Amino acid sequence: MSTFGGPHDLGMSPDEGLALFSNADLKDPRYSYLFLPAPPPGTSGLGRRLNPDQYYFACRWNYADTPREFLRRALARVENPANGRTADARPVDWGPHPSTGRVADLSPGLAAALGLNTDDVVKITISARRAIPVKPTLSMKRAGHGSSNPHAKPAIKQFIKSPNCSCRNGARIDKIVLHCTEGSLASALAEFQKADGRQVSAHYVIDRNGDIYQMVSDSDRSNHCMGANQNSIGIEHVAGETDPLTAPQAAASAALIRWLLQQYQIPRTNIFGHDFAPGYSRPGGTSCPDKLFGATHDQRTIAAWVEANV
Ligand SMILES: [Zn+2]
């Protein structure tokens, strides 16, 4: 293997592109995380714009076996056989050039995470049956070091402490519950700060413009989903009962969820709409999360949104 991509890869020309991605993908939240927010000075191609800290790679693909569209949706397991470290990474390009004698090119961040140097042997497994449209993760167990969440926590505009929370007593965080405020940002923030009202709260409130407010620490239990608070993180989205998410709100929510999944090792299948959260026990249920994620009130709608966006 060798490494490639990013502002410092002078082996790529300033206008060199990528075989699997185009400029249109910069706006797609499924792929935009692979790239720097702006092109490095003097460059116009996507190769130098890759974020070298993200986990991507190139192989000399035979497109008859692994078509471009398959590769664009695929995640591969990349392993350093010398130390057993693994990470999930996205294919982004064709390469390296046959004259190098190498068959795989890794992002500098991926190579560093796996402890690989140029000309080391790497094992890459990609399954034609299972293209997984999710973000890459480093296998913590085998990586042998502590904090390696590849996703930064999105910026929190303000932490406004809610009194309506309690200790988790060591309970593990294993699910995320998504809500609709059915009202304005101001009314949600006010209600969650009131100690003598309904005594409800949420860990996060995401405004229509994508601003994220935090009101309860992740390590504490917030009162957002009766019967399912002990092990969950609650995220409120500001919207009326018939409103879908706005684009910036969806992007902020997806970024926050991505970070939470990795931070607490929460399975992707454990992201629920309020009414569908296992353990939720309020008699009569709730209309929440309303039309935020689609017109139909069912968990499948939530799961489809997660699949497409997170
Ligand atoms: Zn709710």
For residue 147, what pLDDT is reported? 52
Distance (Å, whole) CA 134 – CA 24: 19
CATH code: domain 158-309 is 3.40.80.10
Q: What pLDDT, in 10s, does the model give residues 290-304?
A: 999 999 999 999 999
- DSSP structural state of residue 50: B
Q: Rounded to the nearest whole angstrom, what is the distance from the C-alpha of residue 265 to the centroid of ligand 1?
A: 23
Q: Rounded to the nearest whole angstrom, what is the distance from the C-alpha of residue 28 to the centroid of ligand 1?
A: 28
Mean pLDDT (whole number) for 55-63: 92
Distance (Å, whole) CA 295 – CA 269: 20
Q: Rounded to the nearest whole angstrom, what is the distance from the C-alpha of residue 203 to the centroid of ligand 1?
A: 12
- Joined tokens for residue 102: 């190498």
253 has pLDDT over 90? yes
For residue 136, what pLDDT is reported? 56
Q: Rounded to the nearest whole angstrom, what is the distance from the C-alpha of residue 202 to the centroid of ligand 1?
A: 9
Q: Rounded to the nearest whole angstrom, what is the distance from the C-alpha of residue 160 to the centroid of ligand 1?
A: 19
Q: Using the CB atoms, write b or e for 226-255: b if 16+ within 10 Å.
A: eebbbbbbbbbbbbeeebbbbeebbbbbbb
Sign of CA dihedral 148, 154, 157, 158: negative
Q: Rounded to the nearest whole angstrom, what is the distance from the C-alpha of residue 227 to the centroid of ligand 1?
A: 13
How far is Cα of residue 211 from the mean position of the Cα atoms in its chain? 17
Backbone angles phi, psi at 307, to 5 degrees: -60, -40
Residues forming CATH 3.40.80.10 domain(s) in the chain = 158-309
Residues forming CATH 2.40.40.10 domain(s) in the chain = 2-143
* Residue pointed to by tokens 């949420």: 202
Q: Rounded to the nearest whole angstrom, what is the distance from the C-alpha of residue 242 to the centroid of ligand 1?
A: 14
* pLDDT tier for residue 144 given thresholds of 50, 70 and 90: very low
Query: How many helices (H) does the chain have, and how many strands (E)?
Result: 7, 14
Q: Rounded to the nearest whole angstrom, what is the distance from the C-alpha of residue 181 to the centroid of ligand 1?
A: 7
Residue type, 280: Y
How many residues does this entry show for the chain?
310
| Domain range 2-143, CATH architecture | Beta Barrel (2.40)
Q: How far is CA 189 from CA 123, 211, 238, in A?
A: 50, 13, 10
Q: Rounded to the nearest whole angstrom, what is the distance from the C-alpha of residue 225 to the centroid of ligand 1?
A: 7
* pLDDT tier for residue 135 given thresholds of 50, 70 and 90: low
Q: Rounded to the nearest whole angstrom, what is the distance from the C-alpha of residue 26 to the centroid of ligand 1?
A: 32
134 has pLDDT over 90? no
Q: Rounded to the nearest whole angstrom, what is the distance from the C-alpha of residue 49 to the centroid of ligand 1?
A: 40
Q: What pLDDT, in 10s, does the model give residues 82-127?
A: 888 888 899 999 999 888 888 899 998 888 778 778 888 999 988 7
Q: Rounded to the nearest whole angstrom, what is the distance from the C-alpha of residue 241 to the centroid of ligand 1?
A: 11
Distance (Å, whole) CA 143 – CA 86: 7
CB of 228 within 8 A of CB of 175? yes
Q: Rounded to the nearest whole angstrom, what is the distance from the C-alpha of residue 223 to the centroid of ligand 1?
A: 10
Q: Which of 154, 208, 199 lies closest to 180 in space, CA to CA? A: 208
Q: Rounded to the nearest whole angstrom, what is the distance from the C-alpha of residue 180 to the centroid of ligand 1?
A: 6
Q: Rounded to the nearest whole angstrom, what is the distance from the C-alpha of residue 218 to the centroid of ligand 1?
A: 17
CB of 46 within 8 A of CB of 22? yes
Backbone angles phi, psi at 239, to 5 degrees: -170, 155
- Joined tokens for residue 253: 């929510």
Q: Residues with Cβ within 5 Å of ion ligand 1?
A: 179, 274, 288
Distance (Å, whole) CA 54 – CA 36: 10
* pLDDT tier for residue 143 given thresholds of 50, 70 and 90: very low
Q: Rounded to the nearest whole angstrom, what is the distance from the C-alpha of residue 193 to the centroid of ligand 1?
A: 17
Q: Rounded to the nearest whole angstrom, what is the distance from the C-alpha of residue 3 to the centroid of ligand 1?
A: 46
Q: Rounded to the nearest whole angstrom, what is the distance from the C-alpha of residue 27 to the centroid of ligand 1?
A: 30
Distance (Å, whole) CA 196 – CA 189: 14
The answer to whether the bond into 98 is cis (omega within 30° of 0) is no
Task: Tally the C-alpha atoms within 13 A of residue 252's C-alpha that lie toward its C-beta.
Answer: 23
